[in-house]
């Protein structure tokens, strides 16, 4: 498709400059897209692996935990679980992956995870709680990777649209228009030179 411009030398120069810029941008964006996809696949695979690991550990753990709390009444459970003495906080640090801000979580924890009497509870509960505690870093990693996948997906989609727009719309349009203007200018040059030749002939005839 031709752009709506006047066929003159000024426009030609301007368009040529724009074409060079578009081509450079296209190349850069294509590189960015490829790099993003490479990173993305790596993150997705890591995500899958983390999920599998978590799944396995959690399955073992939940059974242990349910068995240990099975014999308790609701009130007893509340007495144990209602007032935790432990606190976990995460600090969000942003990492830059190919101009995408991906969060990285750093955990700080403090306090006693066993704020209950050991006489009323079974040892399984202690083990289960300990295992839960060990699960937390895995969960944080999972959340981190999930968010990264989401953010990278959006960025890749955006970049791909840009690459495609440049490759299939912008650059062909510019090239067509440049060709049109060059041909028009050549045509004008030819017509003026032939007119000159004709005028010369006429003058010579007289």
Partner 1 sequence: MSNIALIGEREVIIGFNLIGLNILPVCGNEEASKALKECIQQQYAIVFITNEVAKTMIREIEEYQKKSKTAICILPSLLGKSNICMNVLRKNVEKAVGTDILFRNEG
Site for partner 1 contains 100 (CB under 8 A): no
Site for partner 1 contains 137 (CB under 8 A): no
Are 15 and 176 in contact by the 8 Å Cβ rule? The answer is no
Q: 192 by DSSP, 3-state: which? A: helix
88 φ/ψ angles, rounded to the nearest 5 degrees: -115, 130
Determine the Cα–Cα distance for residues 103 and 145; give it in Å rounded to an integer. Answer: 9
Site for partner 1 contains 144 (CB under 8 A): yes
C-beta atoms surrounding 43 within 10 Å: 19
Among the listed residues 13, 21, 35, 62, the single contact to partner 1 using CB under 8 A: 62
- Of 13-21, 88-96, 180-188, 196-204, which segment contacts partner 1 by CB under 8 A? 88-96
Among the listed residues 2, 28, 35, 41, the single contact to partner 1 using CB under 8 A: 41
Burial (CB count <10 Å: 0-12, 13-18, 19+), residue 72: middle
- Using CB under 8 A as the criterion, which residues of the chain lie in contact with partner 1 when the complex forms? 37, 40-41, 44, 47-48, 51, 54-55, 58-59, 62, 65-66, 69, 77, 80-82, 84, 86-90, 92, 103, 105, 109, 111, 113-115, 128-129, 132-133, 136, 139-140, 142-144, 146-147, 149-150, 152-154, 156-157
């Amino acid at each position: 498709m031709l752009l709506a411009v006047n066929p003159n030398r000024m426009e030609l120069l301007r368009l040529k400059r724009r074409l060079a810029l578009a081509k450079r941008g296209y190349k850069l964006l294509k590189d960015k897209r490829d790099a993003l996809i490479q990173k993305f696949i790596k993150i997705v695979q890591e995500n899958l692996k983390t999920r599998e690991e978590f799944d396995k550990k959690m399955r073992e753990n939940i059974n242990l935990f349910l068995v240990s709390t099975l014999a308790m009444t609701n009130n007893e459970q509340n007495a144990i679980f209602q007032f935790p003495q432990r606190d976990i906080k995460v600090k969000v640090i942003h990492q830059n992956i190919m101009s995408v801000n991906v969060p990285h979580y750093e955990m700080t924890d403090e306090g006693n995870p066993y704020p209950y009497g050991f006489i009323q509870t079974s040892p399984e509960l202690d083990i289960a709680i300990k295992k839960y505690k060990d699960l937390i870093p895995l969960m944080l990693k999972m959340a981190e990777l999930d968010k990264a996948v989401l953010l990278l997906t959006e960025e890749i989609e955006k970049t791909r649209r840009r690459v495609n727009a440049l490759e299939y719309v912008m650059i062909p349009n510019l090239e067509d228009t440049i060709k049109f203007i060059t041909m028009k200018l050549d045509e004008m040059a030819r017509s003026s030179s032939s007119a000159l030749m004709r005028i010369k002939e006429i003058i010579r005839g007289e």
